[in-house]
Amino acid sequence: MKDFPAIKTVGFIGLGIMGRSMAGHIQAGGYQLHVHNRSRAKADDLVAKGAVWHDKPGEIASVCDVVITIVGFPQDVENIYLAPDGLVAQAKPGTVLIDMTTSSPSLAQRIAAAGAAKGVAVLDAPVSGGDVGARNAKLSIMVGGDAAAVEHVRPVLTRMGENVVRQGEAGAGQHTKMANQITIASNMMAVCESLAYAKQAGLDPRQVLKSIGAGAAASFALNNLGPRMLDGDFAPGFYVRHFIKDMGIALAEAERMKLALPGLTQAKALYDKLAAAGHEDEGTQALFRLYAA
């Protein structure tokens, strides 16, 4: 087992809707927080409560025992971790770096290997549960990477989530998140098509949900996003453009593994069409637009 220092300082990079809530929970847990974000204004609340601002993300790795990142796209992750002045280059041995972005499993493996060469454990730990889960510290956290490092940072992770499960070595967290997104993708078609059919057949779709929402057709999406579709409420809980990113990663990984996923392929094509029509900044339930015309 590696020799990890006690965790006193935690870095947090990426203070979007989810990141801000998550960093707040860690701060509330008594850790000294160090933060960076593309736009500084989003750090104001945390800084007012004692967090230390850094202009450069790499800097944070040199002063923290644990560093967490949750940013936008795999390209951002690659830059933050692997740039010459990035996290891996700047981290001290014994530091644990945790990427909670939904990103590429292959990239996670590459970064973990780069870290290991320096005695720095890098974990991939994407989440599900959305902004509400982040706010209530009830995220599901899917972790890949060195087992001892995972146990070492578990007290930090459990500040943010209830369901923290190590899924295997580096990349396994991202692969698990891909499995999560693959499940959601085809089910979104299922929910849209069911409700569009019900409307077109002249039924009251809310009444239909009373019949089908509790049995073999039941799903989180049917019961939570179905009503929003029917209300025409397409406000983002989870952005179409982020979902398209995730499906693209999953399809690339599946292709690499020679696995055909026709449902996911179909769902991705529909979401691409939705984005092309200008709806990429809406929530994933906006897929219903394609059926409701």
Site residues, a copy of itself (CB under 8 A): 105, 128-130, 133, 140, 142, 163, 165, 167-168, 171-172, 175-176, 178-187, 189-198, 200-205, 207-208, 210-212, 214-222, 224, 238, 250, 253-254, 257, 259, 261-264, 266-267, 270, 291
User: From CA 270, how far away is CA 272, in angstroms rounded?
Assistant: 5
Smallest distance, a copy of itself to C-beta of residue 39, A: 27
Q: Shortest Cβ distance from residue 50 to a copy of itself (Å)? A: 32
Is 177 among the catalytic positions?
Answer: yes
Kindly give the pairing relationship between strand 9-13 and strand 32-36. parallel
* Least separation in angstroms between CB 225 and a copy of itself: 9
Nearest alpha carbon to residue 127 among 162, 153, 170:
162
CA distance 268 to 244: 7
Quote the least distance from Cβ 75 to a copy of itself, whole Å. 22
Residue 278 DSSP class:
I
Q: List beta partners, residue 161.
A: 139
Crossing angle of helices 74-82 and 105-116, in 10° steps, is 10
Burial of 99 (0-12, 13-18, 19+ CB in 10 A): buried
Find out whether 188 and 221 touch, Cβ atoms under 8 Å.
yes
- How far apart are CB 260 and a copy of itself at their closest, in Å? 8
268-273, long-range: CB < 8 A, 24+ apart:
268/185, 268/244, 270/189, 271/185, 271/240, 271/243, 271/244, 271/247, 272/244
Q: Is 122 helix (H, G, I), strand (E, B) or coil?
A: strand
DSSP SS3 for 259: coil
Closest separation in Å from C-beta 231 to a copy of itself:
18
- What are the beta bridge partners of residue 52? 34
d(CA 105, CA 120): 18
Q: Which is nearer to a copy of itself, 1 or 260 (CB)?
A: 260
CA nearest neighbour of 164 among 135, 117, 127, 133: 127
Q: Which one of the listed residues 56, 118, 177, 210 is annotated catalytic?
A: 177
Q: Which residues are catalytic?
A: 177
